[in-house]
Structure 1
Amino acid sequence: KLIGEVLELGKQVLYLVPEIALTTQLIQRLQRYFGNRIAVFHSRYSFNERVEVWNNTLADKPSAQLILGARSAVFLPFNDLGLIIVDEEHEPSYKQFDPAPRYHARDAAIVLANLHHAKVLLGSATPAIESFYNAKQDKYGLVTLNRRYQDLLLPEIELADLKESYRKKRMTGHFTERLFLLMQEALAEKEQVILFQNRRGYAPVVTCKACGVAPQCVNCDVSLTYHKSGNELRCHYCGYHIPLMETCNACGSPALDTKGLGTEQVEAELTAFFPEAKVARMDLDTTRGKYGYQRILDSFKAREIDILVGTQMLSKGLDFDNVSLVGVMNADNMLNFPDFRAHERSFQLLTQVAGRAGRSGKRGRVIIQTYNPFHKILQQVTTNDYMEMYKEQLDERYAHNYPPISRLVRITLKHKDFLKVSTSADWLYRSLYNSFGSMVLGPSSPAVSRIRNQHIKTLLIKLPKDKPLKHSKLIIQKIRNSFQSIPDFRAVRFNVDVDCY
């Protein structure tokens, strides 16, 4: 209705979605209402197709009145923009990290709307803490929808204890007794199942049982992931891959074992346990190509697929009316991630995944498998208590001075020589400390400290929200100029990312 009102005024509308897969479902719905006034813009389209949308937007043509796109659509040359909708505004995929420009599409959309004197609608069932904080500070208006569409009941969420299930030997593969039983029931009722596992590949690590060595990437500081489909070990950072060896490269033992769980392995287990069911996988490996997403989503919608296994792209607003059960294979990986937003992101992701169940008449069920069923975040997910999560996380942000209480600037240094990047990081820390004091954290190595043969060091600066950013920018720029004037550091890559989360 809001889109229709703006289009009637002869203005353009930008509709941003976090995942290309969502454009597939949305375009069909929007075309029913707005016909051929819609243009789609994202990276899976060819260069010529994107140029055509660019030119049509610039010329304000009737075929480009409503632009549906991923984050890059925010840079289209709008003539008369009246409304921007940012769907699932909490999604991390709106943030562009590398390469530059480093920006957040949600924040860029707000700036763009300001330039055009347009309205912005941020939509989310689990808003980003900074967005909800802004609404509570009366910077944004807040509209709350307390009921599900068509008054549907929220799904019933249960936590399944992996520790107890393994101890009592009540596991079937990687499935707890409860999840396995509910999958059998759903399939017997001709209902569909979605399973979420946020790791692609078959297993994250292959180890030797004799000496414990795991094959590592030659370019990155990370172990190689086993992909059974190509019988190879692959690096998810640089693309390096080798065939799976028959014996250990270190000691020659043939006793190789896989550790951990990926989407391929879940798919293989399901095919073995439910030979009658049609199982499909939706991750980066199966959705390559322009119509990769569409093929899988269309098949699932047509009920040609009984069980769909996937990574986080499954969580982002997809709508299927026959899904009665959603299973989360392991919730602990997200909760234990070394990031100040790990708990917030876990709550958002699990709540969004759970929301795929029961989107028609029957109430859906969600089983979350975990080693720690008493974790506060998991308890909040089961009761759908966003406000409690928000208050707890905000208290922690106040205590440790993290956004939205402060602004974060991350400086990343990269070089192929470890000693050079370490020396330059120490020099940079001393220079920043002289200006910002204890608000500088680091230098530290990220979880993956070498990618494509570039060693990485990061420093964080916490800047107070109440002081203008301009002064801090000038100081950082001055220090950067001094850094790059030192002959030894000239080859070190120096990247600045403001609001780096």
Structure 2
Amino acid sequence: MSYFINVILPIPLDKEFTYRINKTEASFIKTGMRVAVQFGKSKIYAALVTSIHQNPPLVYEAKEIEHILDEKSIVTKSQLQLWSWIASYYMCTLGEVMRAALPGAFLLESETIIQRNIDNVVDDVSLKDDEFLVYEALQHQSLLRIQEIMNIVSKKNVLPVIKRLLEKEIITVQEEIYEQYKPKVVRFVKLHPEFAIEEKLQTVLQDMKRAPKQRELLMHLFTLQAQNSKPIKVSDLLKTANSNASILKALIQKDILQEYYLQKDRIDNEGEAVENSKELNQYQLNSYHTLKEQFREKDVCLLHGVTSSGKTEVYTKFIEETLQEGKQILYLLPEIALTTQLITRLQNYFKDKLTVFHSKYSVNERVEAWYNVLNNKTKAQIIIGARSAIFLPFSNLGLIIVDEEHENTFKQYDPAPRYHARDTAIVLAKMFEAKVLLGSATPSLETYYNVKQKKYGFAELTRRFGGVLMPEINLVDIKTKYRKKEMTGHFSDTLLLQMQNTLKEGEQIILFQNRRGYSPVVECNTCGHSPQCPNCDVSLTFHHYKNQLRCHYCGYHIAMMQKCMACGSVDLNTKGFGTEQIEKELQELFPDHTIGRMDQDTTRGKHGYEKLINRFEEGEIDIMVGTQMLSKGLDFRNVSLVGVLNADNLLNFPDFRAHERSFHLMQQVAGRAGRTNKRGKVLIQTYNPFHQILQQVSVNDYLGMYKDQIEERHQYKYPPFYKIIKITGKHKDYNRVNEATNWFAKSLRNVFHDHVLGPEFPLISRIRNQYHKNIIVKIPRGQSLHKTKEAIRRIHTTFSTIKEFSGVRIIINVDPF
């Protein structure tokens, strides 16, 4: 009797594939295990088993698997169910979801290994230059990889060289698959059991009088054992004894000491909780009880609390309750920057129950976190992470907290799956019958609309913790200030005066400018030429600290030019400003104070955020300049002034969410001010102080903004009243993209009529040498979402068979906001 398995491959193909297994393998393999399979002529992948059955495939002959990679399942059935929903809802393939969901170490692909054919005698005179270089390298090395051959022959395309060497039977080629994850093994040491008897130990110590250093090391081992019952690490012993490895080696060789190895996690939060969670004040208690009441009927609730109202303490109470029920908690955050402060706070409450999971962690650390969650270990009861933590293998999920739920960073834009972590969390919670708590000072319009429709539960926190007043927000008209010559660089006299007073009182300042770099445009004053990126339709941004012009879309960079590329003039000028230019101006204006900058350029690496945030918290930095990563949920006790340097570049953006996002961002950044006893101040510099959104920000009028925006959304047929699917065509040929998207839009109009907008080129129509053109499909309430997607899929399938459009990539983005 034949046995077969269905597997998902980590490649963008729609269907599962069937492979043959034998009876023994069938009894061992479980759903969620990985097996190595050959796909195509020679490539080997780690595929994930979805089912075991006895039905041979009808269209093709099933290949046998190479070997089994896991001893037990690494993916649960509920995960596969979630993957299936994501692939269906966000119109992508299961392979793409698999690639996004699993840590990189699980996604094994074979590597091509080139070896010398030892059975063949080679006449090296007959070899071409590049062939001879590879042949010569194989004389000294047993095997070569593709990347190594590229370096040897200094070419990117080395396949023709390999092909010629294969034809001459000089080399052999094979595919090799290997595990990337390496467990961390720690070396420990202990006294040999033979010397547990005191008489024998005394004899040894007597004999060691002529080896004082060995004796001293042994005495330190006894001291460490007396102080602590835990195993003794070799590194700790050598450090305490101020000794070296050779002395330890001598003791091991004499069989006095024994060495042994234990596997350890790379991330360890061992120890007891430092403090109990704080007592809730009256307002927090009211919200907490309201939410508890609401959770009896509703699975999703929104906690709408103003900045610094103590939402985290309310979350903590729900976490404690869920832990008592023996269930897991997922705490989702929009930015890795936020995890730093929150981890410290939650570690104080739940020291050994916490696991962190985000993209700045190494491959090995993520694999360990994955296994801890899969095995429901004590240290993985509370999982804090950015959006990718939604894919972890939960077995007993009780609560999901989505903090700052309005943030657009919860949406994945590239590559597929283009999922929204908040919406996916609600689906995941439903699978486990868990509760979802959404929290924000400025909820997204969709969430608040669901509250108004009685779909979600709701509780409010309208007062700041400790009775602290909301910050005083003032608008500064910089159009008038420029006219009256009351500006110093990019600072109005009002802002500078407030900054001087704040620094005199020993308090800190946050300045917000949502653009990194020094200046977005470098322009020639003689001919007006501005250097552009050769791969994208954008001007190059000047970065002063590297003296470089950089493209923020593709990473292209050149050294800052000394003269104009077009006319040769040396009269160059910068237009616009970023965080770097503000930092430089501040260093000149406040030379006696420390200036910090927080943007993508200064926070690279795993601990980049942490170092900056810690320095600011400890008062080492007086003024912090930053982009939007500064605005989100961070808690700085000594900040009394926040300045927004230019509010207009947030508002004037061609997006139906621009005004809502501007309100969120300015409210959030304003919320960093005055979080202790003294009332904070916020100054927003703008050319248009009478703008409706800015007026609403200045009086903290969320409801006014909601009513205005929801009315506009209804009028112009945008979410939450209409669903949106964005379809983008991409190709390096401008005409081909045009023709392809016109055909696609015409086909869509035949089905959906007036609900199709476009095709239109976006604001930046070329990125990385690819032209983009967008089509928007609007789906009204009564229209079936499933049938709409099916129609789009059918059109896409037909499109991919048309020869003229070959090479045009179609990207489908559901809920593209």
**Which TM class, normalised by the smaller chain length?**
over 0.9
The 2-side partners of 1:43 and 1:447 are apart by 29
CA distance in 1, matches of 2:551, 2:685: 27
CA distance in 1, matches of 2:517, 2:593: 21
Is 1:380 matched up with 2:696? yes
Give the equivalent residue in structure 2 for 1:481: 797
DSSP-derived class of the 1:276 partner: coil
Question: Partner letter of residue 382 of structure 2?
Answer: L
Q: What is the match of residue 266 of structure 2?
A: none
Which of residues 465, 473, 476 is equivalent to 1:149? 465
- Secondary structure of 1:434 counterpart: helix
User: 1:293 offset after TM fit, Å?
Assistant: 0.1
- Cα deviation code 1:73-115 (max 9, x no counterpart): 0011100000000000000100000001101000010010011
> 2: distance between equivalents of 1:20 and 1:392?
32
- 1:49 aligned to 359, 365, 371, which one? 365
Q: CA deviation at 1:172?
A: 1.2
Larger Rg: 1 or 2? 2
- Of 52, 69, 73, 2:385 maps to 69
- Letter aligned with residue 325 of structure 1: L
Q: Report the counterpart of residue 414 of structure 1 in structure 2.
A: 730
Aligned to 2:70: none
Counterpart residue identity of residue 84, structure 1: I
Match of 2:781 in 1: 465
CA distance in structure 1 between the partners assigned to 2:812 and 2:594 by the alignment: 47
- Alignment partner, residue 352 of structure 1: 668
Q: Distance between the aligned counterparts of 1:189 and 1:288, measured in 2?
A: 33
Deviation string 1:338-381 (CA, Å, 9 cap, x unpaired) is 00000000000000000000000000000000000000000000
- Equivalent of residue 331 in structure 2, options 12, 15, 38: 15
1:493 to 781, 795, 809: 809
* 1:313 aligned residue (600, 613, 629): 629
Q: Does 1:91 pair with 2:411?
A: no
State the partner residue of 1:365: 681
Cα deviations across residues 267-288 of structure 1 (Å, max 9, x unaligned)?
0000000000100100000000
SS at match of 2:506: coil
SS in 2 for 1:159: strand
- Which residues in structure 2 correspond to 1:174-193 (within 5 Å)? 174-193=490-509
1:209 paired residue number: 525
CA displacement at 1:467 relative to structure 2:
2.7
Once the two structures are TM-superposed, the CA of residue 148 in structure 1 deviates from its matched residue by 1.3
The AA in structure 1 aligned to 2:538 is V
Mapped partners of 2:779, 2:694: distance in 1: 32
Runs of 4+ deviating beyond 4 Å = none
Q: Distance in 2 between matches of 1:96 and 1:231?
A: 32
Residue 116 (structure 1) aligns with: 432
Deviation, 1:464, is 1.1
Shift of 1:242: 0.1
Residue 123 of structure 2 corresponds to none
Matched, 1:453 2:765: no
How far apart are 1:33 and its partner, in Å? 1.0
Quote the offset at 1:457 in angstroms.
Answer: 0.4
In structure 2, what is the equivalent of residue 442 of structure 1?
758
SS at match of 1:257: strand
AA aligned to 2:428 is L
Q: What SS is found at the alignment partner of 1:485?
A: coil
Match of 2:570 in 1: 254
Partner of 2:84: none
One-letter amino acid matched to 1:451: I
Pair 1:271-2:587 in alignment: yes
Per the TM alignment, residue 323 of structure 1 is displaced from its structure 2 partner at its CA by 0.1
Which residue identity does 1:76 align to in structure 2? L
CA drift of 1:499 comes to 0.5
Does residue 132 in structure 1 map to residue 445 in structure 2? no
Q: Which amino acid aligns with 2:643?
A: G
1:164-215 deviation line (CA, Å, top 9, x unaligned): 0000000011001110000000000000000000000000000000110100
Q: Distance in 1 between matches of 2:782 and 2:603?
A: 44
Provide the residue aligned with 2:396 in structure 1.
80
Greater CA drift, 223-232 or 26-35: 26-35
Report the CA distance between 1:468 and its aligned residue: 2.3
The one-letter amino acid of 1:340's match is: F
Alignment deviations for residues 20-60 of structure 1 (CA, whole Å, 9 cap, x no partner): 01100000110111111000000000000001001110110
- Aligned partner (choices 236, 240, 256) of residue 552 of structure 2: 236
Q: What's the counterpart of residue 391 of structure 1? A: 707
Separation (CA, whole Å) in 1 of partners of 2:405 and 2:508 = 28
Give the SS at the match of 2:459: coil
CA distance in 2, matches of 1:222, 1:53: 40
> What SS does structure 2 have at the residue aligned with 1:142?
strand
Q: Please, what TM-score do these two structures have when normalized by structure 1? A: 1.00
Letter in 1 for 2:610: Q
Q: Render the CA deviation track for 1:436-465: whole Å, top value 9, x for unaligned.
A: 111111111111111110100010011013
Residues 270-320 of structure 1: CA deviation (Å, up to 9, x unaligned)? 000000010010000000000000000000000000000000000100000
1:165 alignment counterpart: 481
Q: CA–CA distance in 2 between the matches of 1:206 and 1:56?
A: 51
- For structure 1, the 5+ residue unaligned runs are none
Q: Among residues 648, 651, 654, which one is paired with 1:332 in the alignment? A: 648
Q: How far is 1:490 from its partner?
A: 2.3
SS in 2 for 1:35: helix
Question: What TM-score, normalized to structure 2?
Answer: 0.61
1:147: how far off? Answer: 1.0
SS in 2 for 1:194: strand
CA distance in 1, matches of 2:372, 2:780: 42
Partner of 2:320: 4
> 3-state DSSP class of the match of 1:36?
helix
Matched residue of 1:462: which SS? Answer: strand
Counterpart residue identity of residue 158, structure 1: N
Distance 2:647 2:414 in 1: 27
1:430 is matched with 746
Residue 413 of structure 1: how far off its partner (Å): 0.7
How far apart are the structure 1 equivalents of 2:716 and 2:753? Answer: 15
Instruction: Give the corresponding residue for 1:300.
Output: 616
Cα separation, 2, equivalents of 1:133 and 1:275 = 49
Aligned partners of 1:46, 1:151: CA distance in 2, in Å? 42
Q: Distance in 1 between matches of 2:454 and 2:391?
A: 28
- Deviations along 1:400-425, one digit per CA (max 9) or x if unpaired, are 00001100100011001010000101
SS of structure 2 residue aligned to 1:72: helix
The alignment partner of 1:229 has SS state of: helix
SS at match of 1:15: strand
Take 1:347 and 1:476, find their aligned partners in 2: how far apart are those partners? 35
